[in-house]
């Protein structure tokens, strides 16, 4: 069966056969591909006078045009999405951090795994061991904002669904698609 001009296919090999071109965003001359230009115009690039662009599906996932229920509308040729995203504090969900405290005497002034922090020097030559907190009738005492540092470091994270690379091609020859 002969393809429609402008038909896009996904193929499992790495070259475009005769009558097809890779969907790689290249600019092609209008004079050489008049039927395809009459369907695509310059939606995918080009000046629309001497050349036009093919869709570029390298590293992209095709999405249907229009607006599904509860979704934003997508137009033919519209690009969207990014490979990675850096979350801001306002985008992070509300959450709490735990801060464990024990009623033990401190044994170091330097935080190390397994040690009880805060040997308190009371002015004498040798540090004396004292509890590192003050008991209070109110168990919820706000900490200084620098006590518990934010985490994350504003690093971008991967934002792509699992994928497999394949080649997309567009038909340059074939049957001109009839309008309904």
46-60 residue pLDDT tens = 999 999 999 999 999
Cβ–Cβ under 8 Å, residues 169 and 1: no
**8-state DSSP, 116:** P
Listed by start position, the domains of the chain span 1-59+165-180, 98-132
Nearest Cα to Cα of residue 177 among 44, 1, 3, 17 = 3
Q: What is the pLDDT of residues 95-120, one digit of tens each?
A: 776 666 666 666 666 666 666 555 55
Q: How many CB atoms within 10 Å of residue 169? A: 23
Architecture of domain 1-59+165-180: Alpha-Beta Complex (3.90)
Mean pLDDT of the chain: 81
Q: How far is the C-alpha of 79 from the C-alpha of 129, rounded, in Å? A: 64
- Cβ 38 vs Cβ 52: under 8 Å: no
State what percent of residues in the chain have pLDDT above 70: 67
Say whether pLDDT at 122 is over 90.
no
- Best CA proximity match to 57, nearest among 170, 173, 175: 170
Task: Please choose, from the candidates 151, 152, 133, 130, the residue with its C-alpha nearest in 3D space to the C-alpha of residue 143.
Answer: 133
The mean per-residue pLDDT over the stretch 159-170 comes to: 90
pLDDT at 146 over 70: no
> Which residue carries 């050489």 as its tokens?
32
| Dist. CA 87–CA 95, nearest whole Å | 15
């Amino acid at each position: 069966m002969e393809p429609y001009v402008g038909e896009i296919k996904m193929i499992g090999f790495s070259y475009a056969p005769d009558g097809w071109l890779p969907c790689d965003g290249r600019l092609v001359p209008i004079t050489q591909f008049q039927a395809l230009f009459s369907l695509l115009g310059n939606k995918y690039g080009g000046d629309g006078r001497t050349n036009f662009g093919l869709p570029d599906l390298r590293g992209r996932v095709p999405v249907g045009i229009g607006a599904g229920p509860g979704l934003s509308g997508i137009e033919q040729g519209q690009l969207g999405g990014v490979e990675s995203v850096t979350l801001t504090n306002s985008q992070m969900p509300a959450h709490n951090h735990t801060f464990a405290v024990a009623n033990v005497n401190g044994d170091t002034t330097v935080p190390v795994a397994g040690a009880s922090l805060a040997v308190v020097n009371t002015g004498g030559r040798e540090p004396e061991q004292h509890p590192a907190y003050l008991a209070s009738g109110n168990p919820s005492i706000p900490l200084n904002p620098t006590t518990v540092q934010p985490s994350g470091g504003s690093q971008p994270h991967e934002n792509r669904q699992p994928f497999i690379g394949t080649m997309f091609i567009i038909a340059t020859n074939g049957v001109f698609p009839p309008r309904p």
